[in-house]
Chain A
Amino acid sequence: MNREIVFRQKFEIQGGDFSRGGEVSCEVKNLLKELGLPAPSVRRAAIASYEAEMNVIMYAEHGVLDLSATPLKIRIVIEDSGPGIEDIELAMNEGYSTATPEMRELGFGAGMGLSNIKKNTDELEITSEIGKGTRLTMVVLTERHQP
């Protein structure tokens, strides 16, 4: 099978723009679907993308989502300029959240974003620098079908 990148596209994410939250991930999902990748992998990638996109919207000033896909894997890198994550291990804990009361009222801040990303990716790398920003590299393998 062809291991070369068959698709690559970058998307801008504007921090604080809740009204457009999820738009980029919906586009990511539609693009991956159009590429003919297996539906369960597309769903997982889209969910991971959504949680990461919302994190940029909630906490960062600006972010870029870089989507690339081959027949074997979907790779999404989201890099933002924002406050960074102080304690990544703590933030990975389900239930831990730094969301504001306003965000919680909208149904965000369940403290499940990063754990949802972890569950829906086969590889996840998070690097963060306080006061600078965060970079997430997420890989979903397409041959591994999950419910």
Chain B
Amino acid sequence: MNLAELIERFDLKVFSKGLELTRTIGGGYAGDLLSDVIAHGQKDQLWITIQVHPNIVAVAALKELAAVVLVNGREPAAETVARAEKERVPIFGTSLSAFEFSGRLYGQGIKGS
């Protein structure tokens, strides 16, 4: 599944504008501790988190994650979006919880490893 299909299938809100959405998703990782995501996240994964501050962009960019999905209806800070667009890190949102969203992703074949 690529990012565009993900947005469509899960009716995600797209916070970052003008970014390419053809990248294929290579699994997922859920976590709110940045260093934990750095240690255990893998390239091309989707990162599911409640963190909305600008530092999530650096983590996603450095780990080459496919995109960040903010759960529980959280909205990114304006600065987060600006940095995401600059570093080309797509940021999406869902009203679902991390557990619920991860479960539905898993059901669609997107797994943890």
Contacts and interface: CB of A to CB of B under 8 A. Distances in A.
A19 interface: yes
A29 B61 contact: yes
B62 interface: yes
A16 B111 CA distance: 37
A25 B62 contact: yes
Contact of A112 (B35, B57, B58, B64): B35
Secondary structure call for the A interface: helix
Contact of A18 (B51, B55, B64): B55
A141 interface: no
Interface in B39-65: 39, 43, 49, 51, 53-59, 61-64
Contact of A47 (B33, B49, B62): B62
Interface string B13-51: 000000000000000000011111011000100000101
Interface of B is mostly: helix
Contact of B38 (A21, A23, A47): A47
Interface in A21-78: 21-23, 25-26, 29, 43, 46-47, 50-51, 54
A43 B38 contact: no
Nearest to B31: A107
Interface of A: 18-19, 21-23, 25-26, 29, 43, 46-47, 50-51, 54, 106-113, 115-116, 119
17 contacts: A21-B58, A22-B59, A22-B61, A26-B58, A26-B61, A43-B62, A43-B63, A46-B62, A47-B38, A47-B62, A47-B63, A54-B34, A108-B33, A110-B34, A112-B36, A112-B38, A119-B39
Given A21-B55, A50-B38, 13 more contacts: A18-B53, A21-B54, A21-B58, A106-B34, A106-B51, A107-B53, A107-B55, A109-B33, A110-B36, A112-B36, A112-B39, A115-B39, A119-B39
